[in-house]
């Protein structure tokens, strides 16, 4: 039986790589210097490079179920996402962090409906979405609001990381909340001055910009 993944690996080696060899060589010789940490959901329908029009070396990517930022205090154990945030901010010196949620998120739906009993790690992980949940029926509009609220909740959690907070306050780092509407091909960006998500083609910037306390208090319940 043909292995389609193996075929794609061969195609990468024989077609894509030769056309971009110099780019990869430069990344090895000079090291990686991504400006953006992209923290997104593991959902297979989310492709960061397609959404942002970027290529190798442009994004430092962290993905997990639900695009969740674990607490800095380690109360949910040592997690690769937390380590990745620290590495991106302190080692790579990224200047932008994007948290990207999306429509039809299986993590949000599972937070409402529950998961199999043996999925003990997933069950504990999804508790980190609880603050964003609304006590309402799971209508499409309600789920969308929760998905968006979760993005803002993760931005708030990022500010619990001392290296993130200090660099944001020193205007060396900006935080950005994105919400990808899969069925429309539209990324909505959170505008801190408006307190709501705005379609990217109507926005003046790609996210929150400076994390201004006088405009946004970090409470996910205040998202429209």
How confident is the model over 121-178, as pLDDT tens digits? Answer: 999 999 999 999 998 888 999 999 999 999 999 999 999 999 999 999 999 999 999 9
pLDDT band, residue 76 (cuts 50/70/90): confident
- Chain mean pLDDT for the chain: 90
**Domain boundaries, given as residue ranges, for the chain:** 1-31, 33-222
Question: In degrees, to the nearest 5, what angle opens at C-alpha 139 toward C-alphas 133 and 141?
Answer: 80
CB 221 within 8 A of CB 210: no
Using CA of residue 62, residue 88, residue 60, residue 26, what is the dihedral sign?
negative
Using CA atoms, how far apart are residues 156 and 69, in angstroms rounded to an integer? 9
33-222 maps to CATH 3.40.1050.10? yes
pLDDT band, residue 1 (cuts 50/70/90): low
What's the pTM value of the predicted model, to 2 decimals?
A: 0.90
What confidence score (pLDDT) does residue 8 get? 95
Residues 6 or more apart in contact with residue 205 via CB below 8 angstroms: 189, 191
């Amino acid at each position: 039986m043909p292995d389609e993944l193996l075929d794609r690996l061969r195609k990468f080696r024989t077609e894509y790589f030769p056309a971009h060899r110099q780019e990869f060589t430069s990344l090895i010789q000079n090291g990686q210097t991504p400006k953006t940490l992209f923290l997104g959901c593991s959902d297979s329908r989310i492709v960061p490079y397609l959404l942002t029009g970027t290529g190798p070396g442009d994004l430092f990517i962290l993905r997990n179920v639900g695009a969740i930022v674990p607490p800095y205090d380690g109360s949910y154990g040592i997690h690769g996402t937390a380590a990745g945030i620290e590495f991106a901010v302190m080692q790579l010196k990224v200047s932008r962090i994007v948290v990207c949620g999306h429509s039809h998120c299986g993590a949000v739906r599972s937070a409402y409906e529950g998961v199999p009993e043996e999925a003990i790690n997933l069950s504990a992980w999804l508790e980190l979405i609880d603050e964003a949940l609304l006590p309402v029926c799971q209508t499409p509009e309600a789920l969308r609001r929760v998905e968006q609220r979760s993005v803002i909740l993760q931005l708030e959690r990022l500010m619990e990381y001392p290296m993130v907070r200090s660099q944001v306050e020193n205007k060396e780092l900006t935080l950005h909340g994105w919400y990808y509407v899969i069925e429309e091909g539209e990324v909505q960006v959170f505008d801190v001055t408006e307190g709501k998500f705005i379609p990217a083609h109507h926005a003046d910037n790609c996210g929150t910009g400076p994390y201004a306390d006088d405009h946004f208090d970090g409470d996910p319940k205040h998202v429209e």
